């Protein structure tokens, strides 16, 4: 077992010279098992492609020291365990201020692109939010959630400010998430009806946090009651039907519960018995149905296809709570597994929503 001191001795903090980490980072110098320091909370992604394009963020890794597992196309996979796959990050979101310190927002404030009140509003921070800040006279340069900007010195404090009482709420209708509490702010993401979020009220807007997006939505698009509609009820019915066959044997080409199932046979039987539509008998037929959704927006009942869009070799059903059910292999049969396991993450081609 490594001791804290041996870890510290091994630590090679990458890119600490210069105002921005990525400005001094040579990706060719990054090697597996080296240590990597996150200077601020950053988004993580399932793949290097998502990290490079900043799409389908999964969750955040907090600032601290991590191990490098691998790098690809300028993106880095980091983990808390040496020589073990973790999550992909975009180094451009790992921003280090040369003389930055942890500080707190004293009152709600616009974050601007420059050190004047006439500079563009690029983001918005609420009272009590934590940032990394560097004093630049009457203004502070701030870093938060992979973003940078400037706020006036009157809105920031070295002393802890408490005002972040988030509560569980739900998105009432599909809505764009914005960087600040106004339609003047750029879109930060998108949340679908029924999505559960952590929310904090700020005037007529709410600051919301979820795996899918973080930003602001208008009060008309949020509620404290779970959203249950007919599509949700049907999706739950489909999932519950699939769960009845957990543990059944894997039988190639079978759609018969008296015998067992292969992957597409399980999906065919479950959908046929609950909706009257079996979606086709093969993965190649089933992948043509429904609406494509991102991995990060999966809902119970959605179908996860593996391989490629043109040649899917496997299908599973997402059942919620980062789990999927599928007829896996002849030795495993129908099983429930982590939908984010390394095999699923590296082989997922697309996700289709059948029930709207």
CATH code (residue 173): 2.30.30.40
Q: Is residue 162 part of a domain?
A: no
Say yes or no: 26 and 46 in one domain. yes
Q: How far apart are the C-alpha atoms of 108 and 289, rounded to whole Å?
A: 46
Strands 35-38 and 303-306 come out as unpaired
* pLDDT number for residue 246: 93
Mean pLDDT of the chain: 85
Say yes or no: 62 and 122 in one domain. no
* pTM of the predicted model as reported, rounded to 2 decimal places: 0.51
* pLDDT number for residue 130: 86
* CA dihedral for 186, 190, 193, 194, sign (positive or negative): negative
Structural domains of the chain, count: 4
Q: Is residue 173 part of a domain?
A: yes
Say yes or no: 111 and 129 in one domain. yes
Say yes or no: 81 and 196 in one domain. no
Say yes or no: 42 and 149 in one domain. no
* pLDDT number for residue 228: 62
- What is the set of active-site residues? 263, 314, 326
Q: How far apart are the C-alpha atoms of 225 and 98, rounded to whole Å?
A: 45
pLDDT digits (tens, 9 = 90+) for 7-64: 333 333 333 323 333 333 444 444 555 788 888 788 888 778 778 887 767 778 888 8
Which residues, at least 6 apart from 188, have a Cβ–Cβ distance to it below 8 Å?
A: 177, 178, 179, 213, 214, 215, 216
If pLDDT is split at 50, 70 and 90, which confidence band does 262 have? very high
Residue 308 belongs to what domain range? Answer: 230-353
User: Residues 68, 32: contact at Cβ < 8 Å?
Assistant: yes
pLDDT digits (tens, 9 = 90+) for 91-150: 888 877 778 888 999 999 999 999 999 999 999 999 888 888 999 999 999 988 778 899
């Amino acid at each position: 077992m490594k001791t804290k001191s041996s870890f510290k001795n091994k630590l090679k903090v990458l890119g600490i010279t210069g105002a921005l980490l990525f400005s001094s980072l040579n990706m060719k110098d990054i090697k597996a098992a080296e240590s990597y320091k996150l200077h601020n909370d950053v988004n993580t992604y399932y793949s290097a492609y998502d990290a490079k394009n900043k799409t389908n963020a999964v969750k955040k890794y907090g600032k601290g020291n991590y191990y490098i597992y691998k790098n690809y196309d300028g993106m880095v996979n980091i983990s808390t365990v040496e020589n073990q796959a973790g999550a992909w990050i975009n180094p451009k979101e790992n921003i280090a201020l040369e003389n930055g310190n942890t500080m707190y927002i004293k009152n709600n404030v616009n974050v601007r692109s420059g050190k004047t009140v006439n500079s563009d509003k690029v983001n918005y921070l609420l009272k009590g939010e934590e940032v990394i800040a560097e004093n630049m006279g009457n203004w502070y340069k701030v870093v938060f959630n992979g973003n940078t900007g400037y706020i006036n010195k009157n809105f920031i404090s070295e002393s802890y400010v408490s005002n972040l009482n988030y509560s569980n709420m739900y998105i009432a209708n599909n809505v764009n998430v914005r960087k600040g509490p106004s339609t003047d702010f750029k879109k930060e993401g998108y949340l679908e009806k029924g999505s559960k979020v952590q929310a904090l009220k700020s005037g007529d807007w709410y600051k919301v946090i979820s795996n899918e997006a973080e930003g602001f939505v208008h009060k008309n698009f949020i509620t404290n009651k779970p959203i249950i509609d007919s599509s949700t009820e049907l999706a739950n019915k489909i999932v519950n039907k699939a769960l009845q066959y957990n543990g059944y044997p894997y039988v190639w080409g079978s759609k018969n519960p008296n015998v067992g199932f292969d992957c597409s046979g399980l999906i065919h039987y479950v959908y046929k018995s609950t909706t009257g539509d079996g979606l086709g008998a093969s993965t190649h037929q089933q992948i043509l149905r429904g609406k494509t959704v991102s991995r990060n927006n999966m809902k119970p009942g959605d179908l996860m296809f593996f391989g490629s869009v043109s040649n899917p070799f496997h299908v599973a059903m997402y059942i919620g709570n980062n789990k999927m059910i599928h007829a896996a292999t002849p030795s495993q049969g129908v099983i429930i597994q982590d939908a984010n396991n390394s095999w699923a993450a590296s082989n997922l081609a697309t996700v289709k929503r059948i029930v709207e």
